[in-house]
Amino acid sequence: MKCHACGNTRIDAAMGRCPLCGFPLMHMVGDGADPEGMLRKLSGEYREQKLSEITLGFLTYSHEMRAGRLVRSGVRERAFSVRACDLPVGEIVWEDGDFARIDEGEAITVTLVIGEGEAGRQVELSMEAPDTEGFWHVGLLAEPGFAVRVAVGDSKACCRSEAVPLLLKEQEGQEG
């Protein structure tokens, strides 16, 4: 079985709820007119309710030449245009920004910014520079259980970060 809210496939009918996101398993009595459609609607609403406060972005750094040396001149937050609740599980969504490439294999740190209502947190992700020819792009890959990985590279070659939970433990709750 699959959890329609978060995409978790490790779930069986004996569980009352999805262990990753808490979405209740629906047992239906009789056949409604459109049980699939009903389930899709309810799970979509649950996903949206859980993730609607979450905004996602990442930090970008600018550099300039000063006295013959390249120095960091600024840090900016760049927001992803896709909402957390609209990310398709298992499919990378790329931002359209072009970023300068760093030599392949080098260690890079990407800072993911997860905003939650008024508050926010930054998560530093260590990755290895991907082997690409052109500009880098930054993407998001939603994982089962309301988590995301950051992808850097392009649609042909990219590196992926570890998975980061979108919700902090205390927010997850079991209340639905």
Cβ proximity to Zn ion: between 3 and 125 the closer is 3
Q: Which residue ranges make up the site for Zn ion (CB under 5 A)?
A: 3, 5-6, 8, 18, 20-21, 23
Residue 148: burial class (beta carbons within 10 Å; 0-12, 13-18, 19+): buried
Cβ proximity to Zn ion: between 10 and 83 the closer is 10
Q: Does an H or E element contain 37, and which?
A: helix 35-51
Least distance from Zn ion to the Cβ atom of residue 18, Å: 3
Least distance from Zn ion to the Cβ atom of residue 117, Å: 22
Cβ proximity to Zn ion: between 24 and 115 the closer is 24
For residue 87, which of 109, 114, 127, 59 has the smallest C-alpha distance? 114
Task: List phi, psi (to 5°) of 51.
Answer: -110, 0
- What are the C-alpha distances in Å from 61 to residues 66, 99, 174? 16, 10, 39
Least distance from Zn ion to the Cβ atom of residue 13, Å: 14
Least distance from Zn ion to the Cβ atom of residue 24, Å: 10
Cβ proximity to Zn ion: between 14 and 70 the closer is 14
Beta strands at 119-128 and 107-116: parallel, antiparallel or unpaired: antiparallel
